[in-house]
């Protein structure tokens, strides 16, 4: 891999990693692990499969630890998928790591509360082209909430409609899988949490990042004050394919997925021909 290539560092969202990710955090960022336990009320890794209020702080801590494992490298651009936007802003110096964790704890909490307050909701991953994903969303009155790659989309909305869409997709030969989340994330169902989250963001100091950070909902650079964009992301679809397209247009050829896991590296390979990818695991294998 050419270390001199124009590069982007990527931070994943919820749904990656598991409790084993805790080990890296304990080794490299025990301060974040302690702070997470204080802010959440207990170790989030022990309950990360039980809800977004635990999963989001755990994933954030694991991502920052992964970035630490890589040596906190500089890059030409940073980007994060949904929750990962906060990690990307921290790595780029727009906020400090502890403030990023405070943001993520608040984010997970308000999203879980909004999911509890409303009708049961869910999300459905669909392996199809964009037209078929749009058809399924329209047919079942769902939101096309995530555009992860040209072949992977996520629908979001009321749980009953999610289940109907899953059956319809499988019945027509389309791969579909209900995600292990308890809410219709990235839809208007999260609106009850936006104001409370924005108030939490007002307590955080933001500054200009060292390198541009690309929003996963607009595929544009965050402003120096990212508060409004972060709050709006709760109810806005994720346009990850557009993010990768924007980075490619900017000349990025090398994409570093800090983890946990290597989901974003896989999405890069499925979206961009000829792109170079790197993960924590691949870096350590190369150095072994």
pLDDT per position as a tens digit, 93-131: 999 999 999 999 999 999 999 999 988 999 999 999 999
DSSP H or E segment with residue 147: strand 143-149
The predicted structure's pLDDT at residue 17: 77
The predicted structure's pLDDT at residue 62: 97
Q: Are strands 121-127 and 152-158 parallel, antiparallel or unpaired?
A: antiparallel
Q: What percent of the chain has pLDDT over 70?
A: 96
Angstrom distance (rounded) from CA 180 to CA 49? 8
Q: What is the pTM of this model?
A: 0.95
The residues that are catalytic are 82, 186
pLDDT, averaged across the chain: 94
Output the 3-class SS for 165-188.
HHHHHHHCCCEEEECCCCCCCCCH
16: which 2 tokens? 């990656």
Mean pLDDT of 138-162: 97
User: Is pLDDT at 288 greater than 60 in this prediction?
Assistant: no
87: which 2 tokens? 């990690």
With a CB cutoff of 8 Å and minimum separation 6, the contacts of 281 are 259, 262
* Between 274 and 118, residue with greater pLDDT: 274
**Number of alpha carbons in the 13 Å side-chain half-sphere of residue 3:** 3
**Number of alpha carbons in the 13 Å side-chain half-sphere of residue 157:** 18
The predicted structure's pLDDT at residue 287: 41
DSSP H or E segment with residue 205: none
What confidence category does residue 285 fall into, taking pLDDT thresholds of 50, 70 and 90? Answer: very low
CB-based contact 245:251 (threshold 8 Å): no
258: which 2 tokens? 């800090």
Q: How far is CA 85 from CA 19, 39, 215, 238, in A?
A: 21, 20, 7, 11
The predicted structure's pLDDT at residue 119: 87
The predicted structure's pLDDT at residue 286: 47
What confidence category does residue 282 fall into, taking pLDDT thresholds of 50, 70 and 90? Answer: low
User: Is pLDDT at 284 greater than 60 in this prediction?
Assistant: no
Closest by Cα among 283, 267, 278 to 5:
278
* Between 27 and 5, residue with greater pLDDT: 27
User: Is pLDDT at 234 greater than 50 in this prediction?
Assistant: yes
* Between 80 and 287, residue with greater pLDDT: 80
Closest by Cα among 230, 226, 227, 229 to 209:
226
* Residue spans of alpha helices (H) in the chain: 22-28, 30-40, 52-69, 84-91, 97-117, 130-139, 159-171, 191-201, 227-232, 240-249, 263-271, 280-287
What confidence category does residue 15 fall into, taking pLDDT thresholds of 50, 70 and 90? Answer: confident
Angstrom distance (rounded) from CA 211 to CA 75? 7
Place of tokens 């896989």: 266
What confidence category does residue 85 fall into, taking pLDDT thresholds of 50, 70 and 90? Answer: very high
Question: CA 256 from chain center: how many Å?
Answer: 15
Q: Choose the weakest-confidence range: 56-70, 104-118, 269-283.
A: 269-283
The predicted structure's pLDDT at residue 118: 85
* Residue spans of alpha helices (H) in 172-239: 191-201, 227-232
Mean pLDDT of 34-60: 96
């Amino acid at each position: 891999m050419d270390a001199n290539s124009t590069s982007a560092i990527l931070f994943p969202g919820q749904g990656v990693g598991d409790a084993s990710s805790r080990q890296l955090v304990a080794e490299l960022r025990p301060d974040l692990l302690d702070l997470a336990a204080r802010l959440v009320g207990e170790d989030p890794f022990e309950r990360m499969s039980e809800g977004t209020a635990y999963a989001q702080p755990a994933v954030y801590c694991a991502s920052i630890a992964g970035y630490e494992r890589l040596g906190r490298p500089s890059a030409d651009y940073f980007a994060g998928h949904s929750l990962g936007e906060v990690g990307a802003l921290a790595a780029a110096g727009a906020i400090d790591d502890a403030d990023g964790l405070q943001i993520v704890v608040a984010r997970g909490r308000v999203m879980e509360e909004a999911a509890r307050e409303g009708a049961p909701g869910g999300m459905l991953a669909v392996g199809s082209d964009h037209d078929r994903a749009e058809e399924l969303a329209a047919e079942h009155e769902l939101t096309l909430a995530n555009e992860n790659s040209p072949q992977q989309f996520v629908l979001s909305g009321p749980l009953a409609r999610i289940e109907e869409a899953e059956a319809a997709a499988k019945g027509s030969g389309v791969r579909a899988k209900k995600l292990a989340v308890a809410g219709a994330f990235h839809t208007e169902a999260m609106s009850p949490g936006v104001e409370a989250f924005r108030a939490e963001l007002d307590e955080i100091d933001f500054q200009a990042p060292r390198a541009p950070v690309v929003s996963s909902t607009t595929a544009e650079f965050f402003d120096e004050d990212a508060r409004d964009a972060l709050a709006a992301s709760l109810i806005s679809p994720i346009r990850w394919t557009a993010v990768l397209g924007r980075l490619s247009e900017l000349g990025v050829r090398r994409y570093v997925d800090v983890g946990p896991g290597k989901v974003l590296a896989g999405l890069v390979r499925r979206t961009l021909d000829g792109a170079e990818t790197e993960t924590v695991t691949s870096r350590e294998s190369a150095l072994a």
